[in-house]
Chains A and B, each alone.
Chain A
């Protein structure tokens, strides 16, 4: 059972554009929603996270939008750069168990 659904599977964005990745979850007991960034040959790295009592969180060019009633959340990358090219995973945590989405491979082209 896939508890966190992520889309799109892949995304190509031009430099300077906005990258948007969407996720949906099923379990209302999740209490923490992190996003991870993974470069080839590396482990996932925590990028930004939000709690369900907050509707938006911004850190630099990265923003999470959270819609608790719809059980959806999304990552927006403003002014996307070639260095942002990586695989992005949304995730949801209950107690200490983190369930990951299937990942979105982002390519930012010059």
Chain B
């Protein structure tokens, strides 16, 4: 199994541009989590899905952020418009359910200039 796959690994964009981050879950996993990691705030949960349904998006910082899970194996996190303070490493993680721990992807390092 290739694990959780995120793309791109690095993204540099100008303020105001739309950014889309992508995540492919491990086959058989039914829960998907998006986290953001910064030096100041550590690892923050943004949103999570169970069986393609968003369960808790209370961590999404603003309406500029949106996440979708169009099928059981794929998710996107979109920021529109992007701002410099969105610069961070964004991780997605998947799990088989409540009894199991997360498997994280390698992250997308986003830089907004």
Contacts and interface: CB of A to CB of B under 8 A. Distances in A.
A45 B104 contact: yes
Contacts, number: 44
Interface in B61-113: 91, 93, 95, 98, 101-107
B43 A46 contact: no
Interface residues of B, number: 21
A45 B66 CA distance: 26
Interface string B33-57: 1000000001101001010000110
A49 B93 contact: no
Which of B42, B55, B91, B98 has the most chain A CB within a 10 Å cutoff?
Answer: B42
Contact of B48 (A41, A96, A102): A96
A34 B98 CA distance: 13
Contacts of A54: none
Interface of A: 34, 41-46, 49, 89, 95-103
